[in-house]
Amino acid sequence: MKSKYADLRLNEDINKIEEAADCIKHGGIVLFPTETVYGIGANALDEKAVNKIFKAKGRAPDNPLIVHIASIDMLNKLVQEIGEVEEKLINNFWPGPLTVIFNRKNNIPNNVTAGLETVGIRMPSNGIARKLIECADLPIAAPSANISGRPSGTKIEDIIEELDGKVDYILDSGMTDIGVESTVVRVIENKVHILRPGKITAEDIKKLGIDIVIEKQIMEECNPNEKVMSPGMKYRHYAPNTKCLLIYSDDENKLIDKINKEIASGKNILVLGRTKHLNKYKTENKLDLGESLEDISKNIFTLLRKVDSYNSDLVIIEGVKKEGLGLAIMNRLIRACEHNYTEIN
Ligand code: AMP
Ligand code: MG
């Protein structure tokens, strides 16, 4: 059966959002936009509804979901306490793309948190997401909209094939703004540990006078049997079927030379490069990452979904400096390349 579909690209039809919210109230699951990526949402207090999300995505049951809220009142009903540092983060970055881990109350079903004593919560800034939560008057548990392992959905055209019929309702508002999932943080002894980098950067948090720890798993390969602070990090994610190689150098000329050498090797290579470099590559097979970090963040998932159609032997992706939003971009790209990464000095 096909999912119900509402086109909100030109006009935010509140009647359709109310219909989708009603679906959530009755135990259904809804594909909806946020400012980061699309999510698949269910009533976070309804274990059965949440199970439908795991089934639709084929998500491992030990990978917890983020709960989306629209008010501090909702937060108070879900968490044990809000510490001073957490409060500072909330005051500065909510609503927005920051997920904060809290000690949870027992009203949250175990499948939402994958049995953990903590829960990840965020207040999205996207107007449709906010209205959906407000109309449902419920916290909404929502992972990214994609089959597990695939790149997260940033526009409906990319994910309709894999999710149509698996969700009850689809709210389409065009391409999402940020393009990478939220920053996930946990406060331990007054320090903010970054478990997953995103649009809210380590530098943004440091500016508040808070100490930061960037978890090493962000760039390293995790052993699937190892206990990690952010369970999502241990899963294969974003990788196309074609082999990918990520290359970065601070020196642009060295980067371009290295990629052209690979192209000259005779292999059929597809290059994903920055706009200003594209005409320097001696191949017809290239895709434009965009120029600014904001462009690249917005484009990476939709581009990663395109690469297999080129049937190339190898995809070479230009890396960026691991600073600011660049850390989030590199975290996603290094995983798309399954840690096949070269840095040239
Ligand atoms: P996704 O919903 O696909 O963006 O993935 C959400 C990610 O947030 C998970 O894969 C975890 O890595 C992280 N996360 C959610 N809840 C928690 C939690 N309670 N503790 C640590 N990490 C969490
Ligand atoms: Mg995801």
Ligand 1 contact via 312 beta carbon (within 6 Å): no
Mean pLDDT, residues 58-74: 97
For the chain, residues classed under CATH 3.90.870.10 are 4-218
* 12 has a pLDDT exceeding 90: yes
* 330 has a pLDDT exceeding 70: yes
* 234 has a pLDDT exceeding 80: no
Share of the chain above pLDDT 70, in %: 99
Domain 244-344 grouped into CATH 3.30.390.50: no
Mean pLDDT, residues 193-200: 98
Q: What is the pLDDT of residue 4?
A: 97
Ligand 1 contact via 195 beta carbon (within 6 Å): yes
Ligand 1 contact via 66 beta carbon (within 6 Å): yes
Q: What is the pLDDT of residue 224?
A: 67
pLDDT band per the 50, 70, 90 thresholds, residue 257:
very high
Mean pLDDT, residues 317-344: 97
pTM of the model: 0.97
| pLDDT tens-digit readout, 263-293 | 999 889 999 999 999 999 999 999 999 999 9
* 218 has a pLDDT exceeding 70: yes
Which atom of ligand 1 is nearest the CA belonging to 182? 4
Sign of CA pseudo-dihedral 234, 312, 37, 215: positive
For the chain, residues classed under CATH 3.40.50.11030 are 244-344
Q: What is the pLDDT of residue 194?
A: 98
Mean pLDDT across the chain: 96
Which CATH number among 3.40.50.10420, 3.40.50.2000, 3.90.870.10, 3.40.50.970 corresponds to the domain 4-218?
3.90.870.10
Ligand minimally distant from the alpha carbon of residue 149: 2
The better pLDDT of the pair 214, 235 is held by: 214
Ligand minimally distant from the alpha carbon of residue 232: 1
Which atom of ligand 1 is nearest the CA belonging to 39? 2
Which atom of ligand 1 is nearest the CA belonging to 99? 8
From CA 230, how far away is CA 222, in angstroms rounded? Answer: 11
Q: How many whole angstroms from 54 Cα to the centroid of ligand 2?
A: 11
